[in-house]
Structure 1
Amino acid sequence: SLNGDFYLYCETSGQSLKVANLISSCVDLNNFINPGFVFGYHMYGATMGVFNVDVSADGGTTWTTEFTKSGDQGTDWKEGIIVLNNSYAGQIIQVRMNYTSGSSFTGDCAIDFLRFMESPVAGCMDATACNYNSAATIDDGSCYHLTIATTATNVLCAADSNGTATVSANTSNVTYLWSNGQTSSTISGLAPGTYNCTVIDTFGCTAIDSVTINSPLPISLSAVVVDDTSGTSSGHITLTPSGGVPCATYVQLGTGTNISGAFSLSGAIFYTYYMDHKSAITYQASELSALGLQVGQTLTSIAWEVVSASGQVMNNLSIDITEGSVTTNVYSANYTAVVGWNVMPFTTPVVWNGGDIVVTTCFDNMSYTTYNTWYYTTTTFVSCVYSYQDNAAGSICASGGLFTYTSSNRPNTKFGTNSGGYTYAWSNGDTTEDISGLTAG
């Protein structure tokens, strides 16, 4: 309720695409100096319909829509204001609250605290908000604070300049200025270091954050040198490399340009249209082998390519890798998808055993916004199983949870792989770790 008392709502379970009206009695606007109609409304759900407030000055024969909202308006109660003085001064009017329900049960619309009064000044009354209106006498629910989030992709090898950094804001009308002079939301070609980004919105609000691009540790060498004795070519070197992180290569499965939609789930890796989601995606051994993955190679990351991002945080996003009967949790953190390849580095690398790989993703939210979309490729087998839910008593991520839906539309995927051991290039042309038969030099 807006004022802590009762409210009126339209129940949409079994009532799709229906119309409800609440019509006031006649009101004489001569009793007001600057008349206005103020009301509270609540529209939260995936299938909200259309809410109109109409005014009639001829006893209900004709109606003029003076206020309209459609779709999900968030979890908070909001207030609407119709200034009546300009069009209806001195007249006797009626007001009609009109709601047309959406296509499913998640479209209940509520109204509360309806009143005729001297028109207030509507605006944001939060002095800390970007759009604060000092003249406002009633809060219209428009307050917003500029927030930003950053992600980074580190360089692949020491001394490389192939890092990337991305900043995202909770509004689209912003400008970006990075400390290296670039002005887009995503910057690339970065060397290791820290990069600051200043984001400014149309109200002049500023948010600043930084991104650090890291570099793998360099390889270090130790050598045991045995000198040549009297020109007999008896010298040799025993070399021991350590440290370093070999550069990653990528195995990509799927290059399709089909794009997932609201109900074209195609594996649904980051499907935030519902609060909770769980999916299991299969990559067959024959596919992996054909792309050059070797038994014993280490998988270090997985990536999926997002086309449009919802901005919804996926709480406790977990990623598990299953090979046969062995399951390894490789990622667990809150995550917000971004446009482009979303690289998820493994906290526990997995060694490929030569069999099929099943990747299970799951998150468990308390709210939802809209959905992310991603590129997918259709496979010749059922490659994805998944389930989703809202407001369930138990977590969908619980082990042993059943999958409800199937699909052959698999998200395009990249597995990052560790390239393995070291290679050697000696000045005399040898390519082994240790060399012998050396003369002085």
Structure 2
Amino acid sequence: MRISVIGCGYLGAVHAASMAEIGHEVVGIDVDQRKITALCAGRAPFYEPDFEQLLARALEAGRLSFSTDVTDAAGAQVHFLCVGTPQKHGEYAADLRFVQAAAESLLQVLAPGDLVVGKSTVPVGTAAELAAMFGEKVPGALLAWNPEFLREGFAVRDTLHPDRLVYGLPPDGDGVTAERLLDEVYAPIVARGTPKVTTDHATAEMVKTAANSFLATKISFINAMAELCEATGADVKLLADAIGYDDRIGRKFLNAGLGFGGGCLPKDIRAFMARAGELGADQALTFLREVDNINMRRRIRMVELAREVLDGSLLGKRVAVLGAAFKPDSDDIRDSPALNVAAQLQLQGAVVCVTDPAAVENSRREWPHLDYAATPEEAAADADAVLVLTEWRQYRELDPAAFGELVRQKRVLDGRNALDREAWTAAGWTYRALGRRAG
């Protein structure tokens, strides 16, 4: 099939290359010329494992192209909307300007019988508005909502081998046609027996925000337990292990620590609350406000813990921060807990040096007042404390004995409960972590 992908950021670029990998002819459209130039040259504008190889294969096969001109999407039978929906400045609500602009730009090339497929995370009700616009401007054009469930660091695998497909379809015969076209797009994925949920537009829109809200709630729950563990002397890691054996609960997302960040969970739960308020159902999601509050408190507590470890004062103390991205295997620093903590430490007088395997350049652009190092060894030179704030494999596998030769004081704060506490304490380090006893 000939497919267009409108928006070539993280979601759109991965989706475009993945659809070309499946065998479709794909054109990616974006207004950012620098991004398009990089993609055309086979350079990924972000860090994502396996993506650059996927991009190179698709370009070399001639099935993938990129453009800033939406008219290059003419002739595509299926158009994917993959633009961002950031949080509005000064509000909780999602900013839909990019979705609306992308949808309106499609009017130049949309033909009766074409299918527009929304993948962006949007407030419930957005699809109904877009369907009405397309129905008025291009009678016979169809709209489906097909939410994405990509995890940064696993985006290629999650696109080509998703754990489910969700189709939000128009009613009656149009829904049958839309489902057939989506099945054709995802033919090899459907053929593998991937679970498929077909539903209405509103339910499909809510699936992503409901899923993210549940995950955020689970993370904040274990972080609330970490607060209690610190007050009682209990160990949150052992607590999580114990309750995680219950298959109704499960161990995933029960890693206490610095909390969540990134471009999805924080803004999605806030937009969900805002939309519930607009619908007069705000009481249904008031618990998400506390989920958000618990998450933000983790950052404050990490700064307090650093001050405790550094003998009650941050002034003039050298602190190495290992990690800048909001999660490992990504260069995404949006709402990064690690950088938030690093900045607070510096504001309170510490001499902070940040390192990250992938996110240093992004961090330097957005947080130029911080100092950066290329390696953890360079960052830790003569440090009074080392903070592990993003659980990169490289940091989990550090040799605590050799690493201890570099620092001034062997004091490590494990912001992600990612290190082997026994190994580090055996090497002479003072070990502290959120929700766990001192070691």
Q: TM-score range by the shorter chain?
A: under 0.3
Greater helix share, 1 or 2?
2
Tell which has more relative contact order, 1 or 2 (C-alpha 8 A, sep 6+).
Answer: 1
Greater strand share, 1 or 2?
1
Compute the TM-score of the two structures, normalised by the length of structure 2. 0.25
Compute the TM-score of the two structures, normalised by the length of structure 1. 0.25
Structure number with greater Rg is 1
